[in-house]
Amino acid sequence: MTVLQNGGSADYVIVGAGSAGAVLAYRLTEDPTVSVTLIEAGGEAKSLLVQLPVGFAKLVSHPGYDWRYLQEADPTINGRRFIWSAGKLLGGGSSINGQVYIRGTRRDYDRWVELGANGWSFDEVLPWFRRSEDWAGPPHPAHGQGGPLSTAPMQDFHPLCHTFMQACNEHGLPTLADYHGGDMEGVYLTSASQRDGWRCSTEKAFLRPARKRPNLRVLTHTEVERIHFDGSRAIGVDVVSRGLKQRIEARAEVIVSSGTVGSCALLMRSGIGAGETLRKVGVDVVRDLPGVGRNLQEHASVGQNKFVNLPTLNSELGAFDMIRHLLRFAAGKKGPLGAPAVQAMGLARTRPELDEPDVQLHFLPLAYDIAADTVSTASALMPKEPTVTINATICQPRSRGRVELDAQRRPKILHRFFDDERDVATLVGGQKLIAKLFDTPALRRIVIADRAPASPPADDAAWADYVRNKAAPAYHPVGTCRMGRDDMAVVDPATLKVHGIDGLRVIDASVIPSITSANTNAAAIMIGERGADMISRVARR
């Protein structure tokens, strides 16, 4: 038996300093009588690449900042597979993501309740979004002010965003002045998780102030290998840091906030999961919970791009252009270096009879290609000619995947993007909608020629081939430790405690029962806020 060094103790041990984990560390240490050890496998988030908004383009798939979880080949997208990026540094995903600030629709959260997550309807979660927020735009009842997380209307956007929005208007999709109150059908300029033009990650918003408190200990470059139990009670974690193995004791609770892939993998390595599957990889079963790692959901995204007759970002990447961009950012935080990944977007229905929007539209004043033989978006190539892209991302995928452990007990992602054929049909509808947008007077004025697809597909079957060849993940995995009270649920919706285990909660995007219709960072932060309150309320009693 390996003898572990004593790594100290705290009331609460949090595994993962990402979007949700950083919020938990901040809120729990507001009480000076509570001690917290926050454990992060990655390092600090000080690099300029992390702070500068455009840095995300270099951070995705960067071995120093990204877990680079690898998906198994997916037959439903013609055997292709992707690196599933996930931030591996303080702030987690919020330190490498595209900084789009968006919450999801009223219907998204009301659906959580229908699936058994009582207490998580839109009206019940809205106060927790507002609690985090310090909104720099005009006052609005959906926004909070004075919270740690800075959010802002975009400082400066590419002029073609207006052309895209006009095209949407001509198609019948209205412009919304604000999209944060639950109604997101329409088109809008993106709000960003930014402060004074720089990225505002949860590291910046929550951890930096919290690290000044004596009751918070933050360990970086420290990976949790497994949770340690006394019977069915979690009492600590075993970690490895720079080759040194230690045990850290949790006097009150262990909180797992390791992200959608990391959290379920840690539970499984620790003996919580489908018993038969765990035994196959030599893990002793502590609690047979078959839902751990199941219900994996991810948005699939497919776009089209065209050559245009006006300059776009990809045609302005020469040395002189870069100096101009740098000067604009230095002078007023303006220009492409300060922009979030997507500058204009919207939610739309591909068929009028649907009862809610089924695709998210993203407009990019550029185009890029991912080489067919690579799994990495970091190797994306940009054409030199001016181009624009419109992507359609499925809002509510019906296909589900799962995470298991491989023989080395690392996470193995088994996801079939189009396991359910209806998801292909939705994205075919999305492609036909994009074609209509490109055919509006607003966009016809600037489009010169097709680029991808090289010529319009002749019929639905040809569009379906295009979808299967081009679909890519949107970096929003959720659902592997979902809330609920049925046999496949992992955590209790009222407490986020793992069923059948004492002293153990999961608090991050993995508890989401059904993916939101848009990007997921704000939802993960909201879950962190709510989870912290659940813990503090018990402690206050």
Ligand X SMILES: Cc1cc2nc3c(=O)[nH]c(=O)nc-3n(C[C@H](O)[C@H](O)[C@H](O)COP(=O)(O)OP(=O)(O)OC[C@H]3O[C@@H](n4cnc5c(N)ncnc54)[C@H](O)[C@@H]3O)c2cc1C
For ligand X, which residue of 29, 37, 258, 480 counts as binding (CB under 6 A)? Answer: 258
Binding flag, residue 479, ligand X (CB under 6 A): no
Please, which residue, 443 or 471, has the CB nearer to ligand X? 471
Q: Pick the closer one to ligand X by CB: 375 or 464.
A: 375
Would you say 158 or 306 has its CB closer to ligand X?
158
In whole angstroms, how close is the CB of 427 to ligand X at the nearest point? 20
Report how far apart, in Å, the C-alpha atoms of 323 and of each of 33, 319, 387, 432 are: 51, 6, 21, 39
Active site residue 476: yes
Per-residue binder mask for ligand X (CB under 6 A), 296-335, x = binder = ----------------------------------------
Cβ 436 to ligand X shortest distance, Å: 26
* Catalytic annotation, pick one of 299, 325, 415, 476: 476
| Piece of 73-81, 90-98, 118-126, 203-211 that binds ligand X (CB under 6 A) | 90-98
Residue 39 in the binding site for ligand X (CB under 6 A): yes
- As measured in angstroms, the least distance from the Cβ of 291 to ligand X is 17
- What HEC string does 19-47 produce? HHHHHHHHHHCCCCCCCEEEECCCECCCC
Separation between Cα atoms, residue 280 and residue 286, nearest integer Å: 15
Dihedral of CA 164/297/191/50: which sign? Answer: negative
**Angle subtended by helix axes 521-540 and 122-132, to nearest 10:** 90
What torsion, rounded to 10 degrees, do the Cα atoms 30, 132, 56, 451 define?
A: 160
Q: In the chain, how long is the greatest CA-to-CA distance?
A: 72
347 or 442: whose CB is closer to ligand X? Answer: 347
H helical segments located in 105-177: 106-114, 122-132, 160-171
Cα 497 to chain centroid distance, Å, stands at: 22
Give me the least distance between CB of 377 and ligand X, in Å please. Answer: 8
How many CB atoms neighbour CB 293 within 10 A? Answer: 31
CA neighbours within 13 Å on the CB side: how many for 209? 14
Chosen residue from 55, 87, 271, 531 binding ligand X by CB under 6 A:
87
- Report which residue type is found at 493: P
Q: Does 517 bind ligand X (CB under 6 A)?
A: no
Q: How far is the CB of 244 from ligand X (least distance, A)?
A: 14
Residue (43 or 453) nearer to ligand X, CB? 43
Binder of ligand X out of 20, 216, 286, 378 (CB under 6 A): 20
Q: How far is the CB of 374 from ligand X (least distance, A)?
A: 16
Smallest separation, CB 353 to ligand X (Å): 29
Q: Tokens 């002010």 — which residue?
A: 145
Contact 41, 282 (CB under 8 A): no
Of 17, 272, 375, 467, the one binding ligand X (CB under 6 A) is 17
Stretch that binds ligand X, among 88-96, 106-114, 162-170, 270-278 (CB under 6 A): 88-96
Burial per residue of 315-346, b for 16 or more beta-carbon CB atoms within 10 angstroms, e otherwise: bbeeeeeeeebeebbeeebbbbbbbbbbbbbb
Residue 255 lies near ligand X (rule: CB under 6 A): no
User: Using the rule CB under 6 A, is 508 a contact of ligand X?
Assistant: yes
For residue 385, what are the CA distances in angstroms to 177, 178, 306, 308?
A: 32, 33, 10, 8
Contacts of 331 (CB under 8 A, 6+ apart): none
Residues 177-236 that bind ligand X (CB under 6 A): 223-224
Choosing from 40, 203, 253, 423, the residue that interacts with ligand X (CB under 6 A) is: 40
In angstroms, the CA 47 to CA 416 distance is 35
H-helix or E-strand spanning residue 344: strand 344-348
Does residue 97 belong to the site contacting ligand X (CB under 6 A)? yes
The distance of closest approach from Cβ of residue 188 to ligand X in the complex, given in angstroms and rounded to an integer, is: 14
Instruction: Tell me: does residue 514 bind ligand X (CB under 6 A).
Output: no
Please identify which residue in 519, 530, 532, 535 interacts with ligand X, judged by CB under 6 A.
519
Q: Which residue has the CB atom at the shortest distance from ligand X?
A: 18
Site string for ligand X, 148-177 (x = CB under 6 A): ------------------------------
Q: Given candidates 10, 25, 60, 126, which one binds ligand X under the rule CB under 6 A?
A: 60
Query: Which of 7, 11, 12, 21 is close enough to bind ligand X by CB under 6 A?
Result: 21
What element of type H or E holds 188? strand 186-189
Q: Which residues of 156-190 are buried (b: 16+ CB within 10 A; e: fewer)?
A: bbbebbebbbbbbeebebeebebbbbbebbbbbbb
Does 92 help bind ligand X (rule: CB under 6 A)?
Answer: yes
* 99, 105, 426, 431: residue in contact with ligand X (rule CB under 6 A): 99
Is the Cβ of residue 34 or residue 248 nearer to ligand X in the bound state? 248
By beta-carbon proximity to ligand X, the closer residue of 305 and 480 is 480
Chain length of the chain: 541
Our CB check for ligand X shows the closer of 20 and 442 to be 20
One of 475, 481, 496, 515 touching ligand X (CB under 6 A): 475
Q: How far from 319 is each of 53, 57, 325, CA to CA, in Å?
A: 19, 18, 10
Q: Which of residues 395-434 bind ligand X (CB under 6 A)?
A: none
Side-chain half-sphere CA neighbours of 207 within 13 A = 31
Of 101 and 466, the one with the shorter C-beta distance to ligand X is 101
| CA gap 510, 524 in Å, rounded | 9
Mapping DSSP to helix (H, G, I), strand (E, B) and coil, where does residue 479 land? Answer: coil
Residues acting as catalytic residues = 476
Tell me which residues touch ligand X (CB under 6 A): 15-21, 39-42, 60, 85-88, 92-94, 96-100, 102, 223-224, 257-260, 262, 266, 341, 475-476, 508-509, 519-522, 524
